[in-house]
């Protein structure tokens, strides 16, 4: 596997092709392609990194992953039409002998840095532990108070 950039850890939802019009500036999209066997991932990476920004000037490739027969790239939206980008991908990949069988466009719907998830899980763990401790301590306190009430002399 050949990678460039940092992958955005996010939830992605597929955008139906009939809903694709223009990209939204600043929005993160993930393009997943099923391809023929890729024998030279460096050449594929070079062609994607050079040709996409040259044709779509404000498009930013954030992440690129090239497997044996798949390509995943995360791009930041700019004012471009998907109708122009989708046929352009197979066209440039043919330059290095790659055939594209399927293309899926995914939209980032929720994302946060990985450390936010770790801190969130730690916070939940501390809260649960505190709750469990308070339950056991409350039971212990109630038992002690009940025992003290039995030992105290009755007034009155």
Whole-prediction pTM value? Answer: 0.66
Residue 124 has pLDDT above 80, yes or no: no
| 30-87 pLDDT tens trace | 999 999 999 999 999 999 999 988 998 888 999 999 999 999 999 998 888 888 888 9
Tokens 């009939």 identify what position? 18
Q: Which of 12-16, 83-87, 97-101 has the lowest mean pLDDT?
A: 12-16
Options 2.170.190.11, 3.40.50.720, 3.30.70.260, 3.40.120.10; CATH of 2-111: 3.30.70.260
Distance CA 90, CA 53 (A): 15
Which residues are within 8 A (CB) of 89 and not within 5 positions of it... i.e. 6 or more apart?
Answer: 31, 33, 100, 103
Residues, the chain, total?
Answer: 156
**Element of type H or E holding 141:** helix 114-151
Asked if 108 contacts 52 with a C-beta cutoff of 8 angstroms, the reply is no
In the predicted model, what is the mean pLDDT of residues 104-115? 68
Where residue 114 falls among pLDDT bands split at 50, 70, 90?
very low
Q: Where are the domains of the chain?
A: 2-111, 114-156
Q: Over the range 16-53, which residues count as b (16 or more CB within 10 Å of their CB) and which as e?
A: eeeebeebeeeebbbbbbebeebeebeebbebbeebbe
């Amino acid at each position: 596997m050949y990678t460039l950039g940092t992958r955005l850890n996010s939830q992605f939802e597929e955008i139906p092709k009939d809903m694709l019009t223009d990209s939204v500036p600043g929005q993160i999209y993930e393009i997943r392609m099923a391809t023929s066997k890729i024998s030279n991932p460096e050449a594929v990476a070079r062609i994607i990194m050079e040709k996409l920004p040259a044709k779509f000037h404000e498009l930013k490739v954030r992440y690129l992953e090239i497997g044996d027969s798949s390509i995943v790239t995360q791009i930041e939206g700019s004012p471009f039409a998907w109708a122009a980008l989708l046929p352009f991908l197979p066209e440039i990949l043919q330059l290095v002998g790659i055939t594209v069988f399927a293309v899926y466009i995914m939209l980032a719907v929720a994302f946060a840095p990985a450390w936010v998830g770790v801190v969130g899980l730690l916070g939940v763990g501390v809260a649960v532990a505190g709750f469990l401790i308070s339950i056991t301590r409350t039971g212990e306190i109630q038992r002690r108070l009940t025992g003290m009430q039995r030992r105290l002399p009755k007034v009155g």
